[in-house]
Amino acid sequence: MLSFRCKSKTEDEFRVIKVDPIRRTVICDCNGFDGTICSHIDATLLAGERFMVPEADHTTADRASKLVAGSIVVPNDWRGAWRKNNVWRGLSVPRGPRQTVDMTEEFGDDYYSRPKVCFTGTGPRARRQLLEEARLAGWQAVDDFQSGIKVLVAEDPTKNSNKLKKARQFAVPILSYEEWDTLHVDGSFA
Domain boundaries, the chain: 2-89, 104-180
pLDDT value, residue 160 = 86
Non-local (6+) Cβ contacts of 151 within 8 A are 115, 116, 117, 118, 172, 173, 174, 175, 180, 183
pLDDT digits (tens, 9 = 90+) for 115-137: 999 999 988 999 999 999 999 99
Q: At 183, is the secondary structure helix, strand, or coil? A: strand
- Closest to 20 (Cα-Cα) out of 74, 53, 69, 64: 64
**pLDDT of 94:** 62
Give the residue from 164, 189, 187 showing the smallest Cα distance to 179: 189
Prediction pTM value: 0.50
* Contacts of 88-93 spanning 24+ positions with Cβ under 8 A: 88/7, 88/9, 88/51, 88/52, 89/43, 89/49, 89/51, 89/52, 90/51, 90/52, 91/51
Of the CATH numbers 3.30.160.250, 3.40.718.10, 3.40.50.720, 3.40.50.10190, which one belongs to the domain with range 104-180?
A: 3.40.50.10190
C-alpha 181/C-alpha 190 separation (Å) is: 9
Residues of the chain with confidence (pLDDT) below 70:
33-35, 93-96, 98-99, 190
pLDDT digits (tens, 9 = 90+) for 54-76: 999 999 999 999 999 888 888 88
Q: What is the pLDDT of residue 52?
A: 95
